[in-house]
């Protein structure tokens, strides 16, 4: 049996670690389809430094391929990680995830709102929102700073989700 810190594996024939205790060199994602199940499990251990889950060969290929791409390209951006954390929190608290994950604002976008005769400009950043030289994690916090009251940040700045009806300013009701 092959000894790996804290674990024992019966896959000695196909998963010989190199001098530093890791499995052999990485594969490119397009070669993974030709890998055996044992080779995929070995690659999972090398890349994730944990036991592979008991999932189908197809899912192992996808997991290993994703990790290889993540290493090569640097992983997810901060805004994507933030959105995933928000969705995970929604799932934990509500038991489901809404079909519309919310607004998607790109870093660099500027939001402008006039409030009590003063123009307020907010810039979208990778980490949240910049207002008056201060970084805020949410538009709602910016709206509270401006108004002193609790507002929905997206509503305060006039942002409407795709598919939502836009308010009419014409004054007619029918």
pLDDT, tens digit, for every residue of 119-165?
999 999 988 899 999 999 999 999 999 999 998 888 899 886 545 44
Average pLDDT on 42-58 reads 94
Q: Which two three-digit tokens encode residue 8?
A: 């024992």
Say whether pLDDT at 27 is over 80: no
User: Best-predicted range by mean pLDDT among 3-7, 37-41, 78-82?
Assistant: 37-41
Q: What pLDDT was estimated at residue 170?
A: 42
The answer to whether the CB of 149 falls within 8 A of the CB of 116 is no
Residue 33 confidence class, pLDDT cut points 50, 70, 90: confident
The residue whose two tokens read 């090398």 is: 46
The answer to whether the CB of 144 falls within 8 A of the CB of 151 is yes
Residue 172 confidence class, pLDDT cut points 50, 70, 90: very low
The answer to whether the CB of 100 falls within 8 A of the CB of 132 is no
Residue 99 confidence class, pLDDT cut points 50, 70, 90: low
Q: Which two three-digit tokens encode residue 108?
A: 């660099």
Report how far apart the first and last C-alpha atoms of the chain are (Å, whole number): 78
Task: Provide the whole-model pTM.
Answer: 0.41
Residues forming beta bridges with residue 101, ordered by sequence position: none
CA distance 154 to 173: 25
| Half-sphere exposure (Cβ direction) of 52: Cα atoms closer than 13 Å | 25
Average pLDDT on 17-34 reads 60
**Phi/psi-derived region of residue 163, left when phi > 0, alpha when psi is between -120 and 50, beta in every other case:** left
Say whether pLDDT at 167 is over 60: no
DSSP-assigned letter for residue 52: P
Burial environment of residue 146 by CB neighbours within 10 A (0 to 12, 13 to 18, 19 or more): buried
Say whether pLDDT at 169 is over 50: no
Mean pLDDT of the chain: 78
Residue 109 confidence class, pLDDT cut points 50, 70, 90: very high
The answer to whether the CB of 43 falls within 8 A of the CB of 15 is no
């Amino acid at each position: 049996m092959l000894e790996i810190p804290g674990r024992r594996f019966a896959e000695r024939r196909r998963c010989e670690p190199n001098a530093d205790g890791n499995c052999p060199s990485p594969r490119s994602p397009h070669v993974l389809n030709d890998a055996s199940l044992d080779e995929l499990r070995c690659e999972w251990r090398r890349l994730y430094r944990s036991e592979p889950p008991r999932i189908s060969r197809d899912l192992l290929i996808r997991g290993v391929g994703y990790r290889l791409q993540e290493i090569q390209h640097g992983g997810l951006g901060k805004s994507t990680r933030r959105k995933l954390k928000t969705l995970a929190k929604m799932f934990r608290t509500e038991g489901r995830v809404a079909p519309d994950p919310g607004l998607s604002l790109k870093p660099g976008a500027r939001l402008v709102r006039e409030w009590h005769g003063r123009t307020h400009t907010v810039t979208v950043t990778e980490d949240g929102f910049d207002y008056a030289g201060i970084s805020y994690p949410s538009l709602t916090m910016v709206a509270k700073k401006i108004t002193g009251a609790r507002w929905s940040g997206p509503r305060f700045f006039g942002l409407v989700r795709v598919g939502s009806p836009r308010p009419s300013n014409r004054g007619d009701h029918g």
